[in-house]
Chains A and B, each alone.
Chain A
């Protein structure tokens, strides 16, 4: 009996592994369970091997599956391709195609051969072995079988009655087979609750944009951010907005800055290579003080890198992208729900402080689906401060103010005419190459960061005060770190974690307090060159003895991996890293 369970389904193209995972996740969401669902594919555009992993729990979870308790393997050859991403627990149960001989290295696991193909054919659904497997694991593993069955029915609802009937027969046959399986020891126990939503980080970001009042989106397709373009392409026209697919990322951010200049809240979304192309326009948005929101969904890099997998290696680029002294804000999101709040905050900050704000997400949270409560999708929305009629007499668009924010006029406002400029300019917006103007305007623009730091000192802190070891991490690393801490704290180790959500400007005061309160520090991140560690060193004083666990992305951070690194750090086995510069 267990309060949580992780299931992987692996197969070739056409085996329906991902479809089965979708159905299972939706069924669990219906019964009020907590789910984190991830998918992995081979390199083929269509078809090819695929896998789906669903972590199910009766309590809130923050990380994707680390060790998998149960697997359905339609083909061992396909399983081998995901070997580095799917790790069966030592006591895992593996249901595999009977005629396919298992590899030798899984001897500790319970192997249950099932003639999936034959049974599905017998049930009259030759392509329904995924449904048969669903019926079987639902019954065998204590999953919400009634909801899974309804979900299957719903999924095939639009097909002919014969197809629906065959699939339901396959499902029931699977459930019947389950009664003969005695090898399963770990079953899910839970109390059904009200249904939850099932969303990805890209989807919550897109919904957040709509809620924040965004009515213009321009983007260029790029993995793993395109779902934002898809969603807003469908929804913005419905609510009176506009979505434009541009010729490249230069045009995408250009159109966003143009639209925002007219007073319409605007956004684009991209990934690392696209952000590189947007770098120059980030400078313009900052210099001209025209608000812009950019969602950057990180993937393995540099160059094309690993487009379908996660990494935290755009950090320095995002924080420093562009040329010159370019104030911008960067907010990181650490899970699907967080992507919603980070995106609304990004609009609030961009609009109020008239500067570019980048939401820094990554593939693992942007594309995985998580359950969440609809009530969680709420966040205060703030609007741009437009120039008042009084301010429009002898109007100064770039008036030097205490917090750096100047009254903004938009086209259509009589008396608000000004020329916005990428050239350095005076308070009126007139080009200037004078040192005194440049210095005064730089100071004005940077004062906005001070104001943002005061108003938005966003961070999360987990674990006890006065910790023996403090973990510093950000973004998607927060989930597995949080779960690792729960286990470590339960076992009596005093380990805490600090996760800045505001990356630029950092919540320095709280961060420095945390650092001062920990005996030792461990930085955890998915960046080979330890970009987070490098960045922290530019912002605060870190003790010389700081341990750094930094590795490439391409494989998500595991809870057990963190626990192991914590143990090594406490034994001084994690290298105190000399940063590659």
Chain B
């Protein structure tokens, strides 16, 4: 493929690999939203890297015709951080599931958000471990019976968006995979945001969470009110840990220098006297008296 012929249509971002997901999986919607978002943003496939960890949703990079890295369980964010810092001109999209990002990779979520690393992090949230066949995740509601919680889940669920906001993410939104167009719009903003953007997409697992997931969610989903101020942390947190309903849209958006900016600034300061020669580097090891 050469960039001259490339027309930036959603279809061109499809790889020839067929997804392994179950029929009806929410992740199909997310994938379609991503094709659209990349096309509408005119992202050059060779300048885009999609990084994932392990899980059903982490298979996604293989289905996108860009550079891709399907890495280790929980480690998408450190890898994506390395990619972005080493080659800041690349568009970096990290993707994965709620177990991957909140359980085994939870620590990286905290620190990647805190550092405000320039990337979009898309979490496909199905409230369950799908690939390992139905165990409780940190997002599984209290009391739910799963393969690993025979007597009901003894642990309370956490809301990824409230975490992202408190961790220092500078852009936080929630989407629903049943709404391909709306989610694509959110993805476009997430990718365009300069800093760490977090997009939690409710992406139902019809295999382990029941056939009615989509129907139930459609009834619960509502858009964030027009008068919501995404610059206000207090206001944003009102749409997390909701008792009823699921609010979608941009919950939080602020601007802070990203880690890429900070690193560039450090380089400028370190090179105030120009780039040092090699012998300057060895000077501190030589007797200087």
A binding-site residues for B, Cβ under 8 Å: 26-27, 29-30, 147, 150-151, 153-154, 195, 197-199, 203, 207, 210-211, 215-216, 218, 234-235, 237-240, 242, 244, 246-248, 250-264, 266, 280-281, 284, 288, 374, 377, 411-423, 430-431
Instruction: Give Cα distance in the complex from A430 to B63, angstroms.
Output: 10
Instruction: Give Cα distance in the complex from A276 to B66, angstroms.
Output: 33
Instruction: Give Cα distance in the complex from A413 to B279, angstroms.
Output: 35
Given A154-B288, A421-B70, are A264 and B86 neighbors across the interface (CB < 8 Å)? yes
Contacts of A411 in B (CB 8 A): 46-49, 67, 83, 87, 90
Check B219 for interface membership: any CB of A closer than 8 A. no
Given A266-B82, A420-B68, are A195 and B75 neighbors across the interface (CB < 8 Å)? no
Complex contact B54–A422 (CB within 8 A): yes
Instruction: Give Cα distance in the complex from A430 to B54, angstroms.
Output: 15
Check B81 for interface membership: any CB of A closer than 8 A. yes
Given A251-B108, A260-B82, A377-B282, are A413 and B46 neighbors across the interface (CB < 8 Å)? yes
CB closest chain-B residue, reference A421: B70
Contacts of A280 in B (CB 8 A): 72
Complex contact A210–B85 (CB within 8 A): no
Complex contact B267–A414 (CB within 8 A): no
Q: A176: shortest Cβ distance to chain B, in Å?
A: 22
A-B contact pairs, 8 of them (CB 8 A): A147-B287, A242-B86, A242-B263, A254-B72, A261-B83, A417-B1, A418-B67, A420-B70
Q: B240: shortest Cβ distance to chain A, in Å?
A: 23
Contacts of B55 in A (CB 8 A): none
Give the top 10 A-B pairs by smallest Cβ distance, nearest first: A258-B82, A254-B78, A419-B68, A259-B86, A154-B289, A255-B82, A30-B287, A258-B79, A237-B270, A259-B82
Complex contact B85–A195 (CB within 8 A): no
Contacts of A234 in B (CB 8 A): 270
Instruction: Give Cα distance in the complex from A381 to B269, angstroms.
Output: 29
Q: A151: shortest Cβ distance to chain B, in Å?
A: 6
Given contacts A247-B107, A258-B86, A416-B67, 9 further A-B contacts (CB under 8 A): A218-B82, A244-B85, A253-B78, A257-B79, A258-B80, A284-B71, A411-B47, A418-B68, A420-B70
Check B169 for interface membership: any CB of A closer than 8 A. no
CB closest chain-B residue, reference A155: B289
Residue-wise, chain B 44-81 has the 8 Å CB interface mask toward A (1 for contact) of 01111101001000010110011111111011011111
Complex contact B83–A262 (CB within 8 A): yes
CB closest chain-B residue, reference A290: B69
Instruction: Give Cα distance in the complex from A240 to B46, angstroms.
Output: 24
Contacts of B48 in A (CB 8 A): 411
Select B72's contact among A207, A284, A416, A430, beta carbons within 8 Å.
Answer: A284
Select A416's contact among B46, B110, B270, beta carbons within 8 Å.
Answer: B46
Complex contact A423–B90 (CB within 8 A): no
Complex contact A417–B67 (CB within 8 A): yes
Residue-wise, chain B 30-54 has the 8 Å CB interface mask toward A (1 for contact) of 0000000000000001111101001
Complex contact A374–B287 (CB within 8 A): no
Contacts of A255 in B (CB 8 A): 78-79, 81-82, 85
Given A260-B82, A412-B90, are A238 and B276 neighbors across the interface (CB < 8 Å)? yes
Complex contact B68–A246 (CB within 8 A): no
Contacts of A238 in B (CB 8 A): 267, 270-271, 275-276
Instruction: Give Cα distance in the complex from A29 to B289, angstroms.
Output: 11
Check B151 for interface membership: any CB of A closer than 8 A. no
For chain B, which range describes its interface: under 10, 10 to 19, 20 to 34, or 35 or more residues? 35 or more
Select B1's contact among A154, A198, A239, A415, beta carbons within 8 Å.
Answer: A415
Which of A154, A255, A280, A422 lies at the interface centre, i.e. has the most chain B CB atoms within 10 A of its CB? A255
Select B69's contact among A199, A210, A419, beta carbons within 8 Å.
Answer: A419
Check B142 for interface membership: any CB of A closer than 8 A. no
Complex contact A216–B86 (CB within 8 A): yes
CB closest chain-B residue, reference A239: B275
Contacts of B90 in A (CB 8 A): 262, 411-412
Complex contact A417–B275 (CB within 8 A): no
Instruction: Give Cα distance in the complex from A256 to B83, angstroms.
Output: 9
Instruction: Give Cα distance in the complex from A238 to B85, angstroms.
Output: 16
Check B2 for interface membership: any CB of A closer than 8 A. yes
Given A244-B81, A412-B46, are A237 and B267 neighbors across the interface (CB < 8 Å)? yes
Given A247-B111, A262-B90, are A417 and B82 neighbors across the interface (CB < 8 Å)? no
Complex contact B3–A254 (CB within 8 A): no
Check B266 for interface membership: any CB of A closer than 8 A. yes
Contacts of A151 in B (CB 8 A): 287, 289
Q: A39: shortest Cβ distance to chain B, in Å?
A: 16
Select A250's contact among B15, B78, B80, beta carbons within 8 Å.
Answer: B78
CB closest chain-A residue, reference B259: A244
Which of B51, B75, B276, B287 lies at the interface centre, i.e. has the most chain A CB atoms within 10 A of its CB? B287
Which of A237, A254, A264 lies at the interface centre, i.e. has the most chain B CB atoms within 10 A of its CB? A254
Contacts of A210 in B (CB 8 A): 278, 281
Instruction: Give Cα distance in the complex from A193 to B255, angstroms.
Output: 59
Q: B233: shortest Cβ distance to chain A, in Å?
A: 23
Instruction: Give Cα distance in the complex from A53 to B287, angstroms.
Output: 19
Given A259-B83, A412-B46, A417-B66, are A251 and B111 neighbors across the interface (CB < 8 Å)? yes
Contacts of A207 in B (CB 8 A): 281-282
Instruction: Give Cα distance in the complex from A252 to B111, angstroms.
Output: 12
Instruction: Give Cα distance in the complex from A210 to B281, angstroms.
Output: 10
Complex contact A237–B2 (CB within 8 A): no
Q: A232: shortest Cβ distance to chain B, in Å?
A: 11
CB closest chain-A residue, reference B86: A259
Contacts of B46 in A (CB 8 A): 411-417
Contacts of B269 in A (CB 8 A): 237
Complex contact B289–A30 (CB within 8 A): yes
Restricting to B109-144, which residues have a CB under 8 Å from any CB of A? Answer: 110-111
Instruction: Give Cα distance in the complex from A418 to B1, angstroms.
Output: 12
Contacts of B15 in A (CB 8 A): 419
Select B78's contact among A251, A266, A374, A422, beta carbons within 8 Å.
Answer: A251
Residue-wise, chain B 255-289 has the 8 Å CB interface mask toward A (1 for contact) of 00000000100110111000110110110011111
Complex contact B107–A254 (CB within 8 A): no
Instruction: Give Cα distance in the complex from A281 to B51, angstroms.
Output: 15
Complex contact B286–A195 (CB within 8 A): yes
Contacts of B59 in A (CB 8 A): 431
Select B285's contact among A203, A240, A246, A284, beta carbons within 8 Å.
Answer: A203
Complex contact B62–A254 (CB within 8 A): no
Instruction: Give Cα distance in the complex from A414 to B1, angstroms.
Output: 8
Instruction: Give Cα distance in the complex from A7 to B83, angstroms.
Output: 49
Complex contact A430–B17 (CB within 8 A): yes
Residue-wise, chain B 176-219 has the 8 Å CB interface mask toward A (1 for contact) of 00000000000000000000000000000000000000000000
Contacts of A250 in B (CB 8 A): 74-75, 78, 108
Q: B61: shortest Cβ distance to chain A, in Å?
A: 5
Q: A396: shortest Cβ distance to chain B, in Å?
A: 14
Contacts of B287 in A (CB 8 A): 26-27, 29-30, 147, 151, 195, 198
CB closest chain-B residue, reference A280: B72
Contacts of A374 in B (CB 8 A): 279, 282, 286
Contacts of A262 in B (CB 8 A): 49, 82-83, 86-87, 90
Contacts of A431 in B (CB 8 A): 59, 62, 70
Q: A363: shortest Cβ distance to chain B, in Å?
A: 19
Complex contact A258–B51 (CB within 8 A): yes
